Amino acid sequence: MARLPASPHTAPNPDLRSTGFLLIFALAYVGGVVAYLPLLTLLLPIKVQAVAGLRRLDVLTAIAIGGAVAASLSNVLFGYLSDRSHTRGGGRRGWLAGGVVGTAVAYGAIAVAATPTALILSVIGFQVAVNAVLAPMLAMMADEVPDTQKGVAGGLLAMANPVASTVAAILVGAASLGDVTRLAVVLTVVAGCTIPLLLTRARPIADRGHEPERAAVSRHDLMLAWVARLFVQVAGSALFVYLLYYLESVAPSIPPATIAARMGMVMIVAYTLPLPIAVLVGRLADRSGRIKPFLFAAALVAAAGLVGMAFADDFTSGAAAFCVYATGESVFLALHAGFAMQLLPDSRHRGRDLGLLNLTNTLPALLGPTLTWALATPTDYDAVMLVLAALTLCGGLTILAARRRR
């Protein structure tokens, strides 16, 4: 069908992307999150418990720290390498495809690991591979989605956690499945989600050129955004690793296997609730240009949820407080993704700069487990939850100091 000519009174933006492309990109991001969330939140703690027994807390902490270091370095590396490919006209999609293949190999190593050392090394390899997926993918969003659509695009990213949590719940609920089968299911979902994006053609947005004054302000604001996300992510990293053990601590009378099954359903609820909120708020932020108040409000909600977790005394109250926390954190991170991409000072180094920004995901993976190890016991997580609440609130306050964006 022929395309109708544009009205002479309108000036359409040629950079605007279709809703279909935004959904394809969001689906690919779902695949990236499915690659790690079911494994690291549910499947890995179960594997650690089977391999390490009473040493589970020590082994899981070692995995978290070693994996965080590997993720930090590999995300910057693959962001830089995809920048070089992009600058030379090769695009970033080849790196994304290679990361999916590497993730499949790492799953196999995790499945057959029979000792704590083998499991730690396998997860480190997995972190390298999955960041070969995520680093070029997020740089593609900065390349190909205009600023006026980054709020909605960021909001759509919030669908990743509920889908990944659903996959995790199904896998844990299917007790008859072995480790290899579970990881094969995860890999199938990852491939199905990422292939549609790999089949699209790159269409970078117009470069705004080098503006020294704007770049200086962007670097200042990007540093503040980096610090704010770092504070907020410390809590997320701690709960990402220790949520199962936290729920066991507030419900000691419930068998661990039952806690694991219920946790899968809690995660589905906790990560589904923020999705419509994040998309709606992202749309409002795009229309008004006022994103910082929404970011602060989201951080405040997350901090309130952590305080609730500190005072919870049974499974229901602990799970409800976690849902409050997850809603605030998910909305904050979804909006922050689009916000930070608008601050990148140089289009030639988006992958590298996003890799450095990604340290706000991986450095907390060092800080969160360390704080938990120092402040928590197997039966008491109150103190660490209050400290994490304070850090999350500091993150919300820091974002208000950014100068360029309202």
Predicted confidence (pLDDT) per residue in 193-243, tens digit: 999 999 988 887 766 554 544 455 466 777 888 888 888 888 887 887 788
**CB atoms inside a 10 Å sphere around CB 13:** 12
pLDDT at position 11: 46
Dihedral sign for Cα 336, 342, 343, 347, please: positive
4 belongs to a structural domain: no
Whole-angstrom distance, CA of residue 267 vs CA of residue 173: 13
Q: Which residues contact 141 (CB under 8 A, 6 or more apart)?
A: 25, 150, 153, 337, 341
In a domain, 199, yes or no: yes
| The token pair that represents 112 in the structure block | 């057959």
Is 380 strand, coil or helix? Answer: strand
Q: Look at residue 3 and tell me if it is in a domain.
A: no
Sign of CA dihedral 212, 213, 214, 215: positive
What is the per-residue pLDDT for 112? 87
- Residue ranges in 145-255 assigned as alpha helix (H): 150-156, 160-173, 179-198, 212-250
Q: What is the pTM of this model?
A: 0.70
- 116, 178, 193 from 38: Cα distances, Å: 20, 14, 15
The pLDDT score that the predictor gives to residue 328 is 93
Lowest mean pLDDT among 60-74, 165-179, 347-361: 347-361
Phi–psi pair at 16, nearest 5 degrees? -60, 135
pLDDT at res. 305: 95
Model confidence pLDDT, tens digit, residues 42-94 = 788 878 888 877 777 788 878 888 888 898 889 888 888 988 888 887 788 99
Is 33 within a domain?
yes
Place 1 in a pLDDT band, splitting at 50, 70 and 90. very low
Residue 362 within a domain: yes
| CA 387/CA 310 separation, integer angstroms | 10
CATH number at residue 193: 1.20.1250.20
Per-residue tokens: 194: 């990422």
Note whether residue 53 is domain-resident: yes
Residue 361 has pLDDT above 80, yes or no: no
Task: Identify the CA nearest to 229 among candidates 363, 123, 344.
Answer: 363
pLDDT at site 310 = 92
**Better-predicted residue by pLDDT, 53 or 249:** 249
Question: Is residue 5 predicted with pLDDT exceeding 70?
Answer: no
Please report the pLDDT score of residue 346 as a whole number: 59
Does residue 124 have a pLDDT over 90? yes
| Structural domain containing residue 379 | 19-203+212-399
pLDDT digits (tens, 9 = 90+) for 375-399: 877 778 888 899 999 999 999 999 8
The rounded distance, in Å, linking the Cα atoms of 84 and 90 is 8
Q: Estimate the crossing angle of helix 93-112 against helix 179-198, to 10 degrees.
A: 180
Percent of the chain with pLDDT over 70: 86
Number of structural domains found in the chain? 1
The per-residue pLDDT of the chain, averaged, comes to 81
Quick check: is 7 in a domain? no
292 inside domain: yes
Per DSSP, the three-state class of 99 is: helix
Is the model's pLDDT at 309 over the cut of 90?
Answer: yes
What are the tokens at 291? Answer: 């994103």
CA–CA dist 160, 150 (Å, integer): 16
Give 234's contacts (C-beta < 8 A, 6+ positions apart). 364, 367, 368, 371, 388, 391, 392
C-alpha distances in Å from residue 146, one per residue of 16, 48, 139, 149: 6, 43, 13, 6
Q: Half-sphere exposure of residue 170, counting CA atoms within 13 Å on the CB side?
A: 13
pLDDT at 369: 72
Nearest to 369 by CA among 61, 8, 120, 39: 61
Q: How confident is the model at residue 293 (pLDDT cuts 50, 70, 90)?
A: confident
Please name which of 344, 331, 229 lies closest in space to residue 284, comparing C-alpha atoms: 331
Q: Which pair of tokens denotes residue 33?
A: 């999150």
What share of the chain has pLDDT > 90, as a percent? 22
Which phi and psi (to 5°) does residue 141 adopt?
-65, -45
Q: Collapsing DSSP states into helix, strand and coil, what is residue 377?
A: strand
* Per-residue pLDDT at 379: 77
pLDDT for residue 28: 93
